[in-house]
Structure formats: C-alpha cells, structure tokens
Amino acid sequence: MRLHEYQAKQVFADAGIPTPASTLAETVDDAVAAAEDIGYPVAIKAQVHVGGRGKAGGIKLAEDAEEAREYADDILGMDLKGYEVDRVLVEEAVDFENELYVGVTMDRGEGEPVAMVSTRGGVNIEEVAEEDPDAIAREHIDPAFGMHPYQARKVVYEAGVDRAVANDVASVLQTLYQIWDDRDGSDAEINPLMITADDEVVAADAVFNVDSDALFRQPEIQEMEEEASGGDELEQKADEYGFDYVRLDGNVGIIGNGAGLVMTTLDLVDHFGGSPANFLDVGGGAKAQRIANALDMVFSDDNVDSVVFNIFGGITRGDEVAEGINQALEQFDEIPKPVTVRLAGTNAEEGMEILNEDLVTVEHTLEDAVQRAVEYAQEVDA
Amino acid sequence: MSVLVDEDTRVVVQGITGGEGKFHTEQMLEYGTNVVAGAVPGRGGQEVAGVPVYDTVHEAAREEDANASVVFVPPAFAGDALFEALDSPVDLVVAITEGIPTQDMARVKRKLRETDTHLVGPNCPGVITPGVAKLGILPGNIFSEGDVGLVSRSGTLTYQVVDDLTSRGIGQTTAIGIGGDPIIGTSFIDALELFENDPDTKAVVMCGEIGGEDEENAAQYIAEHMDTPVAGFIAGRTAPPGKRMGHAGAIVSGSGTGTAESKIDALNDAGVPVGDTPEEVAEHVEDLL
C-alpha cells in the first residue's frame, strides 16, 4: 500500500528527517490561511496517488495570498489522471542549490534490501535508471545486520555527493533505512532531497510504500491507509470483498482461481480474438458466497458482455463453486449476461452435476470455455 | 527417479492442528506420503490423523527421523516457523503459507544461504513425485508417473498444464510449484539444475509469468548448462503495464525486462519452444520426447 506525500512526510519527520514546514488543507480558505502562517512563497501540492503531479498541473508555486487562493481553487476538486483531488499540502518553498535522490527498496532478484543515492535528483529516477544506470550508486544491505554507518557513507561518497553535506545525507539515508526496516517498507524514497545554499538538507518530496502483507503489525500505517482510501469504484468493491481485481477495458469478464491461471485465461481470451474486461482471482478455497460476490462484481461492470468462469480446484472445491454460481444466478428473473463455466480438479464432477445448466453454458476444456465466452461477447457487440 | 521427494522422505507438518494443516495431512497420507509427525507449539503429545504432534520441529526430527517439513503456519508466524525448520535441520522445507511479509522472507533467505536445506515456496502448492509422495496441497489425482519434470510459479497453472500433459499420456518425474512471491527459496534455476542432474527426467516444462527477471535468468542458464530439453509457458501476455495481477511478483514495470515478451524472447533464444496456450505446451513436450 502507498501512503500520500503528507503521510510519508509525517513518518519521515517523526524519525528525524528534515522536511519543509507544511499543512494539509481541504478547502481554499484553509489553504490560504496555512500559506499565511508558513510565509510565501509556498508550494500547493495535490495529494493523490499519481506520478508526475507537477507536469499534470497538480503542483503550483504561490508568491502571495492572491496566487495561493487562485491555485488552491484550481487544484482542489480537479481531476488528476482519473483521481479527484480533495486535499492539498501547503508547503514552505525551499530555496535550493542542488537536488539528490535517496531511496531504499527490496531487490527481489537478490532477495536483499538495497540503498540508492544519486546526484540526479528532482527528475524521474526510473528514466535515469534506464538511460544511465551508473548515475545511481547502490549498496546491498544484509537484512540480518541492517545498514552499517559505513555503508551509508560509502554509497553517498560513491554517488559523488558534495563533501560539505555528505555526512548529513548519509545520516538521512541511515534513518530512511531504519524507517523502511521498522515499518515494513517496500519502497522509501526522497526525491528530491534538496541541498540549500547554507548546506542544509531538506526532504522536499516523500514516497513510502508499505508491504500490504505486513499491515497486521503496523497499526499506525493501517490507520493512514484507511484515511487515504480512494480510487476506482469497482476496485474499492473488490477490496471490500477481498479479491485480487484489476479492471481492464475489454468486454469479457473473467473469474478464476489462482493468479497464474487467471492471467492465462486473459491471454486466451485475447488469443481467441476477444478482449478481457478484468482480472479477478477469487483465491484459494473459495466458498459459495465468495463465488456469488465475484459474479456480483463482474455483473456490475457495464462494459462486460459475457462472463467466463475458469476454476481448477486444488484447495478450491468444484461443488462449492457450482453452488455459488447457482445461488447468484437464481436471484435473477433474467440472467444479465451469458455465463460460461469450466470446472476441473477437486470435486469438479460433483460441481458439474449440481450446476444449473438452464442458467449457464458448461464447457469441459479451458479452450472451449474461453472460445464460447468470446463468441457470446461478439454476439452482443454485433 | 525424482528430485527433492522420494521414498525416503519423512515429513513433519508444521501447523498440523489448524484447519488446512489437518485436511492436507489427511490428503497427503491418503496419497501415500510418509507423514511422521506434526509440530505445533503447546500441542505436543496430541495426535492428528494418527500422526504424533510435538512442540518443536527439533523434537519431531529427533524422535521421528523427519527430514522434510511442510509449513501451514499462518503468515504472521510463518517466518519464525521457517527459521525453526532450517535450524532443526531438515533437508527440504515446503512453505504453503500465502502472505508472509517480504522482509521476513529476506531474513529467511539470508539464513538459507548458510544451510544445505532446499526451501520451496512460500505461497506455493508444493512438490509432488507422482505415485510416491506429495508435500503440499496439489490434487494428486491429476498427476501421473513419467519422465517430465515441471517447475511453475503458479499453483493452478501447474494443474492446468499437468492436466494437459496427463491427458496426452505424458507423466511426470516431479512437479515443483516454486510460488509467486517476490522472494522465494527455490528459483527456476535451482529447479532446472535438479532436473538436469536427474537421469530419469527426459524433458522439463517451465511455467513462468510476468514480473521480475527470473525467467530471463533461467533462459540463460538453459542455454549454457542444460542438455535436457525444456518447453515453456508465460502467463500475463495481455497484462497492462503498472498493474499488479494477484502475485506480488506479477507486475510489469513498463521497462524492457519483466514483460511476457522479453521472457518469451529470452526463452526462444535459448532454444525453448513457448506455447501460446497450455495445450500447446503439452504438444511441444510431446515433440521434445
């Protein structure tokens, strides 16, 4: 899960990383009042989970109260790449000489944390990583020992950071690693870390993503997540039901068990000339109610013209799945969209016997089921 | 012959008193797996499905000569359970648990480097040598004895491909579900090496998916070190960049590596035919044998 900038900054500031003075505001009046308190110039920054906010018009620099009012009014309520902005961070604009990138993430290839520093801060670091990987100094950290101070210094010197601020930057990096380690971070980044004319370091932006699987032991982060919720309506519904769900732009709804098999079903829909409307993994061991919830989700997507179930039971039982499908469909006088079902594996035969064939189309192989669902969708389209 | 699991595998089930632990212990016993003990703190002295339960894995290994562990412990305690198994020690640990925090797995992986134990998983269906034993949750009835090795990041995709193999009369030496998490014990390369060194494995199927670079690395390993032919499958060709598809690993960053295309290209360059559908993979295997 991803924290908003203002939340990440709070976490970083609490641990001792210098951040600019700032206040969160939900109305234009509050934003102007905050700007008056902080003193001009201030940056007014949209708090949404969108990269490239500045370019998209979500960050503006106000020199006085009039501009603060105008920009806060522009940004609050604006649609930023599909996200409505309902909060802005009003922040002291830092006068800087240089910008650095500082980050900690998990190197999944190595299975080890890695700390990174670059003097090419203030820009899209992914682009730097691709165009000029040597411009980012990296140091792997042994998770059994954590980051030694010498490692923080080493990576800072290797990056070519100005000697006058090297110790302070190393200290920021060490704190960032500690936060990442203590709070189950997946990515912790400061970009840019600004260097002022007086050789002060200040975290002007903050990114903190936390491992969703570890939220059970991070109650404070979990509270922040609840506060930060937002996004696609169907994806929110999926969160409530506890599904892995991704909305796509096609018209064949797909429900299956296991990420690899569901992705394969998507690929087959494409292979047979159709277009997937979603990825929906009901997970392992789904019971009847869960199957009914999955159907509810896919039916409530207006783009869906046809639905295919692909279940290969291991831990999941075919009879439970069949019961869920029957239960969900029996509520309708008329089935809203044709449903094709393929059941294999544990208790598949029992499932096939239970399944109400007046309500669904049964196919016995994966290929046949997908082809049939694609045909149904094409009929609706035609 | 087989890899990882054979007649001498003596299994301790960690978390045997939980719902899944109990159910799958019964399933494993029914399949013929030699489950010799359970291990659950505070439950020593009990019995589950006729299997004696101990408080610690050390005790189970000592009293029952267990040399393998299957872990059904909930995610919050699974990292600790894996350390316990590695420390006991057993030769093989199969971690079924889904949702173990990544940093816990980084520490487990670090410990693993100091041991000779094979860790399979976590978030995996397990390992099966058809007709001999299964460690995990795989449905035994779809597998058949034969000479094809299988390694896969996805559980249900494993079942689909095995079903296509078995229905063509192609049996398996061993199938290994390595799991879809960002940090796992046994990698594709580890599994491929085991199959390459197994004289009875005549061909290998490797099922990958988008995300990470493990398939690209495996392709390089195949080109440089393998005589046994390999057929492949990659799930997620249609996945849009930047979206996470269930498995933590299955996210396409948008850069050159990690996409289905880069994985398929790398495998093709290594001489590995890649099927467009699971059925096509089985056809490729038929040609390779």
The model's pLDDT over A135-192, given as tens digits with 9 standing for 90+, comes to 899 999 999 999 999 999 999 999 999 999 999 999 999 999 999 999 999 999 999 9
Residue A51 at interface with chain B, using a CB cutoff of 8 Å: no
Local confidence band at A230 (pLDDT 50, 70, 90 cut-offs): low
Question: B245 vs A111: CB contact, 8 Å cut-off?
Answer: no
| Per-residue pLDDT at B255 | 53
What does the alpha-carbon distance between residue B254 and residue B242 come to, in Å, rounded to a whole number? 7
The alpha carbon of residue A114 and the mean position of all alpha carbons in its chain are separated, in whole angstroms, by: 21
| Per-residue pLDDT at B164 | 95
| Per-residue pLDDT at A52 | 76
Query: Which positions of A are annotated as active-site residues?
Result: 101, 189
Could you tell me how many residues make up chain A? 382
What does the alpha-carbon distance between residue A84 and residue A128 come to, in Å, rounded to a whole number? 30
Question: A259 vs B152: CB contact, 8 Å cut-off?
Answer: no
| Per-residue pLDDT at A63 | 96
Q: Which H/E stretch holds residue A131?
A: helix A125-131
CA distance, residue B34 to nearest chain A CA (Å): 20
B-chain residues near A108 (CB < 8 A): 182-183, 212, 249
What does the alpha-carbon distance between residue A236 and residue A26 come to, in Å, rounded to a whole number? 22
What does the alpha-carbon distance between residue B3 and residue A56 come to, in Å, rounded to a whole number? 55
**Cα separations (Å) of A378 from A225, A269, A274, A368?**
40, 12, 8, 15
B141 token code pair = 């009835």
Q: Which H/E stretch holds residue A272?
A: none
In the stretch 18-47 of chain A, residues with CB closer than 8 A to chain B read: none
Residue A345 pairs with which residues in a beta bridge? A313
- Looking up tokens 């960053």 gives B253
What does the alpha-carbon distance between residue A372 and residue A376 come to, in Å, rounded to a whole number? 6
| Per-residue pLDDT at B60 | 96
Name the closest residue on chain A to residue B187, using Cα atoms: A109
| Per-residue pLDDT at B247 | 67
- B134-192: per-residue pLDDT in tens? 999 999 999 999 999 999 999 899 999 999 999 999 999 999 999 989 899 999 999 99
What does the alpha-carbon distance between residue B188 and residue B195 come to, in Å, rounded to a whole number? 11
Across all residues in chain B, what is the average pLDDT? 93
- A257-273: per-residue pLDDT in tens? 998 999 999 999 999 99
B81 token code pair = 């359970």
Q: What is the identity of the amino acid at A337?
A: K
**Mean pLDDT value across residues B235-246:** 79
- Looking up tokens 């078995």 gives B166
Question: A314 vs B207: CB contact, 8 Å cut-off?
Answer: no
Which 8-state DSSP code applies to residue A270? H
A146: left (phi over 0), alpha (psi -120 to 50) or beta: left
pTM for the whole thing? 0.91
* Res A338 pLDDT > 60: yes
| Per-residue pLDDT at B21 | 95
- B74-101: per-residue pLDDT in tens? 999 999 999 999 999 999 999 999 999 9
What does the alpha-carbon distance between residue B165 and residue B205 come to, in Å, rounded to a whole number? 10
What does the alpha-carbon distance between residue B207 and residue B202 come to, in Å, rounded to a whole number? 17
| Per-residue pLDDT at B251 | 59
Is the peptide bond preceding residue A192 cis, with omega within 30 degrees of 0?
yes
What angle do helix axes B75-87 and B57-64 make, rounded to 10 degrees?
A: 40
- Looking up tokens 């009369």 gives B169
B205 and B143 Cβ atoms separated by less than 8 Å = no
Question: A263 vs B99: CB contact, 8 Å cut-off?
Answer: no
Pairing between β-strand A42-46 and β-strand A88-92 as defined by DSSP bridges:
antiparallel
A-chain residues near B248 (CB < 8 A): 213
**Mean pLDDT value across residues B46-60:** 97
Residue A135 at interface with chain B, using a CB cutoff of 8 Å: no
Q: For residue B126, with 0-12 CB atoms within 10 Å meaning exposed, 13-18 middle and 19 or more buried, which class applies?
A: buried
Q: What is the identity of the amino acid at B128?
A: I
CA distance, residue A244 to nearest chain B CA (Å): 5
A-chain residues near B246 (CB < 8 A): 244, 258-259, 262-263, 279, 281
| Per-residue pLDDT at A132 | 84
Q: Choose the mutation target among A249, A265, A279, A349 for the interface with B, i.e. most B CBs under 10 Å.
A: A279
Instruction: Among A111, A269, A281, select the one facing B183 at the smallest CB separation.
Output: A111
| Per-residue pLDDT at A228 | 59
- Name the least confident of A23-37, A76-90, A286-300, B237-251: B237-251
What does the alpha-carbon distance between residue B250 and residue B248 come to, in Å, rounded to a whole number? 6
Residue A61 at interface with chain B, using a CB cutoff of 8 Å: no
What does the alpha-carbon distance between residue A74 and residue A104 come to, in Å, rounded to a whole number? 34
Count of CB atoms situated within 10 Å of the CB of A249: 10
B-chain residues near A130 (CB < 8 A): 255-256
Q: For residue A18, with 0-12 CB atoms within 10 Å meaning exposed, 13-18 middle and 19 or more buried, which class applies?
A: middle
ipTM computed for the complex: 0.89
A-chain residues near B104 (CB < 8 A): 214
Higher pLDDT, A21 or A346: A21
Instruction: Among A113, A216, A259, select the one facing B106 at the smallest CB separation.
Output: A113
- Catalytic hit among B24, B58, B118, B247: B247
CA distance, residue B63 to nearest chain A CA (Å): 31
| Per-residue pLDDT at A62 | 95
What does the alpha-carbon distance between residue B215 and residue B219 come to, in Å, rounded to a whole number? 6
Instruction: Among A130, A248, A284, select the one facing B255 at the smallest CB separation.
Output: A130
- Inter-chain contacts counted by CB atoms under 8 A, chains A and B: 164
B-chain residues near A264 (CB < 8 A): 157, 160, 233, 235, 278
Nearest to A367 by CA among B220, B281, B146: B281
Residue A146 at interface with chain B, using a CB cutoff of 8 Å: no
Question: A367 vs B277: CB contact, 8 Å cut-off?
Answer: yes
A210 and A185 Cβ atoms separated by less than 8 Å = yes
What does the alpha-carbon distance between residue B148 and residue A45 come to, in Å, rounded to a whole number? 57
B210 and B252 Cβ atoms separated by less than 8 Å = yes
**Mean pLDDT value across residues B192-200:** 97
In the stretch 283-322 of chain A, residues with CB closer than 8 A to chain B read: 284-285, 312-315
| Per-residue pLDDT at A1 | 81
B-chain residues near A268 (CB < 8 A): 277
- B248-288: per-residue pLDDT in tens? 556 555 455 688 999 999 999 999 999 999 999 999 999 99
- Looking up tokens 């009879």 gives A319
B247 classed as catalytic: yes
Residue A257 at interface with chain B, using a CB cutoff of 8 Å: yes
B-chain residues near A279 (CB < 8 A): 239, 243, 245-246
Name the closest residue on chain B to residue A218, using Cα atoms: B101
Pairing between β-strand A361-362 and β-strand B51-54 as defined by DSSP bridges:
unpaired
- Name the least confident of A373-377, B48-52, B184-188, B247-251: B247-251
| Per-residue pLDDT at A313 | 86
